[in-house]
A and B are shown apart, each in its own frame.
Chain A
């Protein structure tokens, strides 16, 4: 799955299952920690490892403008 930015620089970010689920759940209601905990529980992976994997990429998405602070 590829996240495509329709404006700006037109970023394209390749997203795996965890990142796609994270971006899909980012609607401004749940915190990042809550979303990562839910994804870790659903996918059956370690939560700390998932957080360590997702947070840097979430920072990149915020920097590129794909995610905005709610």
Chain B
């Protein structure tokens, strides 16, 4: 089937296209959609933050095959110093090995040296020696390919604090860090590369806890060994400035004394790299356990001693994949829990016991028939609950064990998604949970007839504001 041909001549098509473009431009100008107007709307600060007026390396935009920009686009977006743009904006072919003297002479004989378009691989002349297509075409352009081979001292940060170590790659970011194989040195001075797999060290460093000597690297190969990523959690956390991490050894702002990383085995393996976890587009499910003394006879008695329980609270975080329901995972974990361990004794024995209790490998264990674990919705004042990521959906549930309730079966179990953060609440949610449990007891004692005869009042503790239409702040 023959595709339809254009009836107009090329010149006529170009003319029409030009006219159409002018018409579009006039329409945009008539609508006030001009650069000046946008700049005036944005303001100078916004324009500066958007890097308006800054030139971007041409190769970075065009993406010519076989060509890599001399600077990473992210680097090119930064304002450059005067006099440097000509050198750092140079486009460099891949495989920029400086050609030998005989090849340069051959190229000059066949005229390929005069090809000024350095962005394309130089075609070879028939009869001449075949030149690798990914080689540099101009000897002068290879001047930008030089990589500092002298080992440089780089600032490294791990859980022992900042220190220095020698690395084979003396790169600090920028055009000078361009590798001849096109590997982008995206690392900054601290040595972290943000990416889908999280921060990882650019170079293999010798960890204080690593007894093995660092492997000497031949040439300048990119670090593809998984061993290069094995760093301490504090290393990654310090690099990424993370707070509220769930790692036990990571410096986090979580006030909870217990950090129980739970979840699947995969999560457990990655729990030593909290920075990598945090960089993935995943949500976080939070579960908090109030480990109450098992001697408390009822929830009412527990409510009066909620401050004791709050002191013994523990926190567990885990993550789930994007698109999956985290509540199902929480239900699955709760179903596999053994309330005997979740109670006060588990909290008293520390995070190791909690982690073991929440180990999904033990989820097949049947729960005790006399389950008295109560699960109520909510969250705590942990850093995870207050993080911006939780605004997209944080699954939270609080569990407590109010003692051996009559009947043995849990009477309240709610799993729900908290749609937004709860904000800062220094007092915690222990009193709120206690009130919810009291209300559950009251409702359990009142059937529909009794409820119909009951008198209810709205839980408003503050009087209405004098202004009509303003929302009343209630704090039940």
Contact = CB atoms under 8 A, between A and B. Distances in A.
Interface of A: 4-10, 12, 23-24, 26-33, 36, 51, 55, 58-59, 62-70
B458 A23 contact: yes
30 contacts: A5-B476, A6-B472, A6-B475, A7-B475, A8-B429, A8-B435, A8-B436, A9-B418, A24-B458, A26-B457, A27-B457, A28-B455, A28-B457, A32-B454, A32-B455, A55-B448, A55-B451, A59-B443, A59-B451, A62-B442, A62-B443, A62-B456, A63-B439, A63-B443, A64-B436, A65-B436, A65-B439, A65-B459, A66-B474, A68-B457
Contacts, number: 103
Interface of B: 377-379, 418-420, 422-423, 429, 432, 435-436, 439-440, 442-443, 448, 451-459, 471-476
A65 B442 CA distance: 12
B474 A5 contact: yes
Contact of A33 (B377, B378, B420, B452): B452
Contacts of B451: 32, 55, 58-59
A66 B461 CA distance: 11
Contact of B453 (A5, A33, A62, A68): A33
Nearest to A67: B456
A7 B456 contact: no
Nearest to A65: B476
Q: Which of A7, A36, A65 has the most CB of B within 10 A?
A: A7
A67 B446 CA distance: 15
A30 B458 CA distance: 12
Contacts of B471: 4
B270 to A, nearest CB: 30
Q: Which of A29, A55, A62, A67 has the most CB of B within 10 A?
A: A62
Contacts of A69: 442, 454-457
B451 to A, nearest CB: 6
A29 B455 CA distance: 7
Contacts of A7: 432, 474-476
A31 B476 contact: no
A51 B436 contact: no
A70 B473 contact: no
Contacts of A23: 458
Contacts of A63: 436, 439-440, 443
B443 to A, nearest CB: 6
Given A7-B475, A7-B476, A55-B451, A66 B459 contact: yes
B435 A31 contact: no
Nearest to B423: A10
A68 B453 CA distance: 14
Q: Which of A23, A30, A63 has the most CB of B within 10 A?
A: A63
B469 to A, nearest CB: 12
B461 to A, nearest CB: 9
Q: Which of B377, B422, B451, B453 has the most CB of A within 10 A?
A: B451
Nearest to A63: B439
Nearest to B450: A32
Contact of A8 (B442, B472, B476): B476
B379 A31 contact: no
Give me the 6 closest cross-chain CB pairs, A-B, nearest first: A7-B475, A28-B457, A70-B455, A33-B452, A8-B432, A6-B474
B245 to A, nearest CB: 24
Given A65-B459, A66-B458, 19 more contacts: A5-B474, A6-B474, A7-B475, A8-B432, A8-B435, A8-B475, A9-B377, A28-B456, A30-B455, A32-B455, A32-B456, A33-B453, A65-B439, A65-B476, A66-B476, A68-B457, A68-B458, A70-B456, A70-B457
Contacts of B377: 9
A12 B476 CA distance: 14
B432 A65 contact: yes
B459 A68 contact: yes
A16 B368 CA distance: 42
Nearest to B422: A10
Contacts of B419: 12
Contacts of A64: 436, 439
Nearest to B437: A63
Contacts of A24: 458
A27 B423 CA distance: 29
Contacts of A70: 454-457
A42 B459 CA distance: 25
A27 to B, nearest CB: 6
A8 B474 CA distance: 10
